[in-house]
Amino acid sequence: MKSFIPILLLVISVGLFFVVVEPLRRSVSDLGGGISAYNLALSNSTFLQKTEDGLLEAYKNIKKEDKDRLEHFLPNTVDNIKFILEVERIANQYGMPIKNIKFESPVSASGQKAQADSAKSGLVISSDPKASLPYGNFSIEFDTEGSYSSFLLFMKDLEHNLRLVNVKKVSFTVPNGKSSGNSSSSLSGDQYSYSLSVETYWLK
Partner 1 sequence: MENSFQTSFIPKKSIVTTSVVRRAPTKLIIIISVGFLVIVLVTVGGLFLYKNYLLKQKAQLSSSLVSVRDYFDKDNISELQLFDKRMSASKQILSTHTVLSPLFSVIGDTTIPAVQYTSFDQQTTDKGFFVTMQGVAIDYKSVALQASVFNSSKGRYFKDVVFSNLSRNSDNYITFDIDFSVDPSLLSYEKDNQLQKSIPANNQNH
Give the DSSP letter of residue 142: E
Least distance from partner 1 to the Cβ atom of residue 175, Å:
9
Least distance from partner 1 to the Cβ atom of residue 124, Å:
23
Nearer to partner 1 (CB atom), residue 44 or residue 116? 44
Nearer to partner 1 (CB atom), residue 11 or residue 101? 11
Q: Annotate 77-100 with b (16+ C-beta within 10 A) or e (fewer).
A: ebbbeebbebbbebbeebebebee
Distance CA 56, CA 50 (A): 10
Least distance from partner 1 to the Cβ atom of residue 118, Å:
21
Taking residue 118's Cβ as centre, other Cβ atoms within 10 Å add up to 14
Least distance from partner 1 to the Cβ atom of residue 92, Å:
19
Least distance from partner 1 to the Cβ atom of residue 90, Å:
13
Nearer to partner 1 (CB atom), residue 116 or residue 166? 166
Nearest to residue 83, comparing CAs of 136, 32, 35?
A: 136
Identify the three-state secondary structure at position 11: helix
Instruction: Enumerate binding residues for partner 1 (CB under 8 A).
Output: 2-3, 5-7, 9-10, 12-13, 16-17, 20-21, 24-25, 27-28, 31-32, 34-35, 38-39, 41-42, 45-46, 48-49, 52, 55-56, 59, 67, 70-71, 73-74, 133-135, 152, 155-156, 159-160, 164, 166-174, 178-181, 201, 203
Distance CA 175, CA 41 (A): 73
